[in-house]
Chains A and B, each alone.
Chain A
Amino acid sequence: MVQWTDFERATIKAIFAKIDSAVVGPAALSRCLVVYPWTQRYFGKFGNLFNADAIRSNPNVIAHGKVVLDGLARAVQNLDDIKATYAELSVLHSEKLQVDPDNFKLLADCVSIVVAAQLGKDFTPEVQAAFQKFLAVAVSALGKQYH
């Protein structure tokens, strides 16, 4: 089981209390689709992803970005059992969506960068370490049911 220090728990919860998933989610997802364009392979039904502007304003990207961040928020509510919390989601991503789990890390990096830009100097190295540890745990849990 993952061991969280008091600092890590407090930091992760504080970040999610501060950020708006309706802002960070879409920003992170659209950034991922622009910076790592091969990730667009999973969003064939989303319509126009032709360029950065189209991606940024695509209503499906915006809606789905929020879904992803809300999913991460659920993990924050269950820090001591993220693996169980994400078991169904992992099966979904593996069997139905068939997402290469390497992509989770790419999206996680984009989430880090968007949150960094939002929090500015409050995103200290120690805060970054706690936040990236959380994302790594979430990413790992999402990949757990792949076989």
Chain B
Amino acid sequence: MTSLNAKDKNAVKAFWAKVPGNEEKIGADALSRMLAVYPQTKTYFSHWKDLSPGSPQVRKHGKTIVCGVGEAVGKIDNLTAGLLNLSELHAFTLRVDPANFKILSHNLLVVLAIAFPTEFTPEAHVALDKFLASLAGALSEKYR
């Protein structure tokens, strides 16, 4: 897919500036939606007691994920290098099928559209979609 230009990076950073403080809320919502709308993703969490929206494990993990995305925003100039460790984690330990990154990205965008209806313009949307695709690519680096 296409790499991020300066306009994309600025749009992503500007939009993501609204997120700090809301990581758990956004992450829990995105994760809940993913588990509800794409039930096949539940297979990765068979070790959790409670997969319902807003459960403690969903909230905690949602926050972890969104904080991770925030970190990636900070490393937006070199995602592949910056996310090396996370890529190894997803490739060798978690072994998440990369198709699921797209699914989670979609749900993240839905949550952002709901949380920031005015700011999530088509222009912001395309920059974030490109960024999340690049992020997924960086996470998939170590898979094979």
Contacts and interface: CB of A to CB of B under 8 A. Distances in A.
Given A128-B36, A132-B37, A31 B125 contact: yes
Contact of B122 (A31, A118, A124): A31
B122 A117 contact: no
A93 B28 CA distance: 39
A30 B122 contact: yes
Given A113-B113, A117-B113, A129 B37 contact: yes
A121 B37 contact: no
B117 A120 contact: yes
B63 interface: no
Find the residue from A31, A125, A128 having the highest chain B CB count within 10 A.
A125
Contact of B106 (A109, A124, A126): A109
A144 interface: no
A117 B125 contact: no
A84 interface: no
Contacts of A16: none
Given A34-B123, A52-B121, A129-B37, A116 B113 contact: yes
Interface string B128-143: 0100000000000000
Contacts of A34: 122-123, 125-126
Contacts of B120: 113, 117
Contact of A35 (B36, B37, B117, B122): B122
A126 B117 CA distance: 20
B36 A126 contact: yes
B59 interface: no
B110 interface: yes
A104 interface: no
Find the residue from A34, A35, A128 having the highest chain B CB count within 10 A.
A35
15 contacts: A30-B122, A35-B122, A35-B125, A52-B121, A113-B125, A114-B113, A116-B110, A116-B114, A118-B117, A120-B117, A125-B35, A128-B33, A129-B36, A129-B37, A132-B37
Given A34-B122, A35-B125, A120-B114, 18 more contacts: A34-B126, A52-B122, A52-B123, A56-B122, A112-B110, A113-B109, A113-B110, A113-B120, A116-B113, A116-B114, A117-B113, A120-B117, A123-B110, A124-B53, A125-B29, A125-B36, A125-B37, A129-B37
Interface of A: 30-31, 34-35, 52, 55-56, 109, 112-114, 116-121, 123-126, 128-129, 132
